[in-house]
A and B are shown apart, each in its own frame.
Chain A
Amino acid sequence: MSAETKEMIKQENQDLQKQEHQEEKTIAGRYFMPQTDIVETENNLLVTMDMPGVKKENVEVKLDNNVLEVEGKIDFSPYKDMTPVYSEYNVGHYTRRFSVSNTIDAEKIEANLAEGVLTLTLPKAPEAQARQIPVS
Chain B
Amino acid sequence: MLRTWSNTMNTLLALQNAVEHARNADYFGTSTTSKGGYPLINFFEKDGNYVAVAELPGIDKNNIKIEVKDNFLRLAGERSIDYGKDISRHRIEREPYRFDRTVKLPFQVDRDQIKAEYNNGLLAISLPRAEADKPKQITIN
Q: Which chain A residues have a beta carbon within 8 Å of chain B's beta carbons?
A: 21, 32-42, 45-46, 48, 50-55, 79, 81-92, 113-117
Contact = CB atoms under 8 A, between A and B. Distances in A.
B90 A92 contact: no
A39 B87 contact: yes
A55 B33 contact: no
Interface of B: 25, 27, 30-33, 36-37, 40-46, 50-51, 55-61, 81, 83-84, 86-94, 118, 120-122
Contacts of B59: 115
B94 A36 contact: yes
Contacts, number: 126
B7 to A, nearest CB: 25
B101 to A, nearest CB: 11
A39 B93 contact: no
Nearest to A33: B30
Contacts of B36: 88
B73 to A, nearest CB: 12
Contacts of A79: 44
B25 A38 contact: no
A33 B89 contact: no
